[in-house]
Structure 1
Amino acid sequence: MATAHLIHGYIGAGKTTFASRLELSEFAVRFTSDDWLAMVWYGTEAAAQPDVPTVHARVEAVMLPVWTRCLTLGVDVVLDLGFWSRASRDAARATVARCGATSRLYDVRCDVEIAWRRVERRNHEHGPTLRMTRDTFDVLRARFEPLESDENHILVET
């Protein structure tokens, strides 16, 4: 039976680094929304664009049939999609179950200032692709929903 590894965490927490290691240790196919978003967006500054949520939703909709097909074929997947809301986590778990697979949820976290330093470093290393300002980083935190007590998960401190 295939497993979907759901990676939950805020910006800069270390989700993609963890997901990259997990894909190798679990022999899984990794789906990282930021990678796909950067390819679709052709390197423009996402933080300055008014339709970021719309484009993000479209990218995840494009990935959905690919990762669900992997699961139905018995291939493990690592879903590095953030899963900021309870609704998104519940929907993913339900989709995984419909594919006849199991899910494993990881809560990737670190101190908020460490996360911001990582984002700053990423801004400098990768240029304008998905550049994040501190204001955007702080504003988006209001949209981030921590895991609830009934959500079984594995804690990953980075």
Structure 2
Amino acid sequence: MATAHLLFGFLGAGKTTLPRDLEHRHGAVQFTPDEWMARLFGADPPADTFPQRAAAILDLMEPIWTRCLRLGVDVVLDYGFWRRAERDHVRYLVDQCGARALLYRIACPDDEARRRVAARNRQAACSLYIAPETFDVLKGRLEPLQGDEVFLTVEPSKA
């Protein structure tokens, strides 16, 4: 049975390291919307078009990762899954594919997450620029995992 590895965590929590590890350990295909966004629209896309573009990328990825699951190939969904509705929707799709979902919770203190985001912003790698003010605005959009959601807690890397 194929597995969808779902990564829940905020900016700078360490979600970049775990998907690479899961990809290698399970022979999985990794789907990271931020990488697609940066490649298609640059590292700092305009805030007014970001939600529509992000939704379009997720819409493009969905038939690909669900097809992988139906073919018996594990996937790693490096989405963050900040909203409960997103988590529920993806778990439903995974179930419809005859696969199982494993949800990983990755968390670290805000000061460490801010440090990591600032360091990432200075790199030329394919990632999105996150302004300090944006960090605060987005933090308010994170919906914590609920008591009925089964998840594995992963200690973030020291990177």
TM-score, reference length from structure 1: 0.94
- Counterparts of 1:1-158 in structure 2 under 5 Å? 1-41=1-41, 43-46=42-45, 48-126=46-124, 130-158=128-156
Listed as ranges, the gaps of 5+ residues in structure 1 are none
> Structure 1 or 2: larger helix share?
1
Listed as ranges, the gaps of 5+ residues in structure 2 are none
Q: Is the 8 A contact 2:35 2:126 kept in 1?
A: no
Return the offset for 1:49: 2.4
Aligned residues: 156
TM-score, reference length from structure 2: 0.94
Q: Is the 8 A contact 2:38 2:44 kept in 1?
A: no
Q: In percent, how many aligned pairs have the same letter?
A: 48
Return the offset for 1:148: 0.5
Superposition RMSD in Å: 1.4
> What is the CA–CA distance in structure 2 between the aligned matches of 1:104 and 1:32, rounded to whole Å?
17
Return the offset for 1:126: 2.3
- Equivalent residue letter for 1:85: R
SS at match of 1:155: strand
Higher alpha-carbon deviation: 6-15 or 50-59: 50-59
Stretches of 4+ aligned residues off by more than 2 angstroms: 126-129
- Equivalent residue letter for 2:86: S
